[in-house]
Amino acid sequence: MILLSYGMSLGFVTIAIPALEAQAGNATNQTASVTLSKPQISWFGSINWIMVAVGGIVSGPFATPWGRRPAMIAVNFCFVVGYLVFYMAESVPVLYLAQAACGFGGGLLEAPVLTYIAEIAEPHLRGAMSASTTAVLILGLFIDFSLGSVLDWRTVALVNIIAPVAAVISLCFVPESPHWLMGQGRVEDARRALCWLRGWTKPEDVATEMSLLERTLNQTEKKPSALPTLSQLRKRTFLIPFSLVVYAFFIGHWSGMTPLQTFAVSIFTTVGTPINKYYATVLIGLVELTGTVACVALVHYTGKRPLALMSTLGAGVCFVVAATYVHVVGEALPDSDTSGPYAWLPMAALVISAFISHTGIRILPWMLIGEVYTPDVKGFASGASGCAGYVIGFFANKSFFFLQEQLTLPGTFWLYGAVALSGTVIMYFYLPETEGHALHEILEHFNGERVLRSKGGKKTDGDCEKWASDNRAMDTVSPDHVRSRSESRL
């Protein structure tokens, strides 16, 4: 529900831009006193990304001392304030303020939401649960695309308030992370939370996991610091995963999907579509949602590497095709006939790129965040990764009109295609396969002790422990201990 709120804020920008731009060009048809010029539209479409980066910096320290659930509840107030300010906005600075509030909330949610999911997830569900967060975010974006095709943008802002209110209510019924509770010395609360999360089971059914958590607490400080030390940040097990996640963000944003998602109506107006440009934008949201759901369904079976490589290759080809068509045929003129035999080609290429990107590269960094970092830096690293990703997204969005002026739209699309295709090559050599592998195996990969290139083996019911993916005990217990414990159970 939290990510639904943030997704709706992203979709809201897309539907508000053409309405505000149309008002600026037609003073007799204004429904409000606020209008946006071309440079202001560029800032309006990008300012939330930079504020998400600011929220991401605060996110890790914010989530650690207060707990995951209180932090997730607090995030929703940013969205409520943002949507209310949108509804009442009568000037450009106020619109910027509303965007900043929603963007800050989007950054603030990174560490508590992603860390909470990683800490409660069972290993065989980790990839699907991480991918489902993006699916819900895209669902929010699609909902606002759809609402914007039938409602005024101010009315949509009011409707959007329902999502954060529902999120606060929902969070009252879920437990705090057992790992955070154990770190605070609240053992009984952690046991109750773990029983709830494992299906309202009995304490004896989670005794093994609890004992391993308690054993780990004897080896580490009970209340971990919100910020890691400099020596922790210098370790190979932080630097390499962090670089990988940031690069995945770079490919995801600069392969063209971020500007397409934000300026879809403007882009479809330029390339021409055989259907209404607003319906084409709704179609973009629909295929993004479908692609994300496909990723959730497939990642457990295919692994992350094949999906990521396929998506970057496919997106690159699609943008090259769209760029070549617009270069050869030319940009569409206002009110021109776009019903020719190949008029559907650029729209189809962009729609396919939206689908294929969301089956892999657009979701990949979010899945990696929950599993590539060690527990001692996870809170900080999750927020810092999200911060870096949104800074990259800000520049991808903010530079779109500048690149279009300097390189033309076909040149800009060729650039996006080249970035995606180069990402396919680089990630083929450097992206490990984390799906199906325990966290200690992923740690060993980044430590140079093993190479992960294929999906982990499928465990049988007898072998699959109901452990959370981020259980610190799993990272510290030795393989001999695991083997001896399994033998004793048999």
Q: Is 274 helix (H, G, I), strand (E, B) or coil?
A: coil
Mean pLDDT of the chain: 80
Q: What is the pLDDT of residue 26?
A: 47
Fold of the 229-453 domain: Growth Hormone; Chain: A; (1.20.1250)
Dist. CA 259–CA 399, nearest whole Å:
9
Give residue 146's pLDDT band: very low, low, confident or very high (50, 70, 90): confident
Q: Which residue has the higher pLDDT, 361 or 279?
A: 361
151-158 contacts at long range (C-beta below 8 A, 24 or more positions apart)? 152/19, 152/31, 153/12, 153/15, 153/16, 153/19, 153/20, 153/86, 154/31, 154/32, 154/86, 154/87, 156/12, 156/15, 157/12, 157/83, 157/84, 157/86, 157/87, 158/83, 158/87
For the chain, state the CA radius of gyration: 23
Fold of the 1-22+33-174 domain: Growth Hormone; Chain: A; (1.20.1250)
Q: Quick one: 334 exposed, middle or buried, by C-beta within 10 A (0-12, 13-18, 19+)?
A: exposed
Query: Can you give the pTM of this predicted structure?
Result: 0.69
- For residue range 302-347, what is the model confidence (pLDDT) as tens digits? 888 999 999 999 999 999 999 999 888 876 545 454 555 677 888 8
Return the minimum-mean-pLDDT range out of 67-81, 282-296, 459-473. 459-473
Q: What is the pLDDT of residue 481?
A: 40
Whose CA is closest to 253, among 128, 420, 26, 114?
Answer: 420
Say if residues 44 and 93 touch (Cβ distance below 8 Å): no
Tokens of 44: 């309006």
Mean pLDDT is highest, among 124-128, 262-266, 282-286, 417-421, for 417-421
User: Does position 483 have pLDDT exceeding 50, yes or no?
Assistant: no
Cα distances (angstroms) measured from residue 261 to each of 120, 284, 351: 32, 8, 11
- For residue range 219-261, what is the model confidence (pLDDT) as tens digits? 444 455 556 778 878 888 788 889 999 999 999 999 988 888 8
Say if residues 386 and 56 touch (Cβ distance below 8 Å): yes
Q: For the chain, give me the number of helices (H) and strands (E)?
A: 25, 0
Say if residues 85 and 57 touch (Cβ distance below 8 Å): no
Whose CA is closest to 141, among 258, 263, 276, 6?
Answer: 6
Percent of the chain with pLDDT over 70: 82
Residue count of the chain: 490
Q: What is the pLDDT of residue 338?
A: 53
Q: How many CB atoms lie within 10 A of CB 429?
A: 6
- For residue range 367-376, what is the model confidence (pLDDT) as tens digits? 888 778 877 7
Whose CA is closest to 284, among 386, 90, 144, 410?
Answer: 144
Give residue 218's pLDDT band: very low, low, confident or very high (50, 70, 90): low
User: Does position 43 have pLDDT exceeding 70, yes or no?
Assistant: yes
Say if residues 433 and 304 touch (Cβ distance below 8 Å): yes
Tokens 């965007």 correspond to what residue? 99
Mean pLDDT is highest, among 77-91, 123-137, 175-189, for 77-91
Mean pLDDT computed over 120-144: 78
Mean pLDDT computed over 196-207: 86
Q: What is the pLDDT of residue 472?
A: 37
Whose CA is closest to 223, among 47, 432, 67?
Answer: 67
Q: Quick one: 483 exposed, middle or buried, by C-beta within 10 A (0-12, 13-18, 19+)?
A: exposed
For the chain, residues classed under CATH 1.20.1250.20 are 1-22+33-174, 229-453
Whose CA is closest to 145, among 160, 162, 132?
Answer: 160
Q: What is the pLDDT of residue 423?
A: 94
Mean pLDDT computed over 350-354: 93
Whose CA is closest to 2, among 100, 96, 90, 107?
Answer: 107
Dist. CA 484–CA 479, nearest whole Å:
9
Whose CA is closest to 420, among 293, 325, 323?
Answer: 323
